[in-house]
A and B are shown apart, each in its own frame.
Chain A
Amino acid sequence: MEIKVLGPGCPKCKQTEQNVKDAVAETGVDATVEKVTDIMEIAGYGVFGTPSVIIDGEVKSVGKIPGKEEIKTWIAK
């Protein structure tokens, strides 16, 4: 599973990245977590704002910090 967290690097983006990493660690799912900070690459996803979370190419959330439990539902096998 490939998870991308889009965000140039503000506290909300960092919190989202941490929540994603925690959710992956707690569920034991085999996933890579990548932080995308390049504005042009972020724009390519067509998102209105950041932070955004992309899982296997699917945009799961935009402009908000998803909670750890919500993320777990996205990555559950």
Chain B
Amino acid sequence: MVDECCTPEGNIMILVCSGGSNVGQLSNQAAIELTQEGFGKMFCLAGIGGHLGGFVQSAKDVPAVVAIDGCEVGCAKAILEHTEIPTKNYMVLTDLGIEKNKDFNLKAEDIKKVKAAVRSVCE
């Protein structure tokens, strides 16, 4: 979690629903790859949902957050609302035209589409 001294300036916190569907797992995989590519840093939405102090305060203090839900149920958004964390950068993957299902064989083209959309929403 803390793998370097001091939070880099302008670091984007990436919070995703990581839900039990293709779109939930697409959000998860996109967050992993965006972190690996240095776009931002994936953080634990579960910790925020559990109202753990370090997680909640981290999300409140970081300069930029992007929240991603797989579908319109909006679990990530609801968690952030409950914990009073602003969600300026927010997106839902089914809004990109990706159909929600239980096929966990994620398509590379979908991951690419999601990553591009996340980068775009943060501009």
By the criterion of a CB under 8 Å from any partner CB, how many residues of chain A are at the interface?
26
The residues in B between 1 and 45 inclusive whose CB is less than 8 angstroms from any CB of A are: 1-8, 11, 13, 41, 43-44
**Shortest Cβ distance from A14 into chain B, in angstroms?**
10
Any B CB within 8 A of the CB of A12: yes
Interface size for chain B: under 10, 10 to 19, 20 to 34, or 35 or more residues?
20 to 34
A-B contact count (CB 8 A): 82
Produce 1/0 per residue, A31-53, CB < 8 A to B: 00000000100110111111110
Which chain B residue shows the least CB distance to A44? B54
Which chain B residue shows the least CB distance to A39? B2
A48–B52 contact, CB under 8 A? no
A61–B1 contact, CB under 8 A? no
Binds A, one of B58-66, B68-76, B82-90, B100-108: B58-66
B5–A62 contact, CB under 8 A? no
Any A CB within 8 A of the CB of B53: yes
Which chain B residue shows the least CB distance to A60? B57
The 5 closest A-B pairs by CB, nearest first: A49-B7, A63-B7, A46-B54, A48-B58, A10-B5
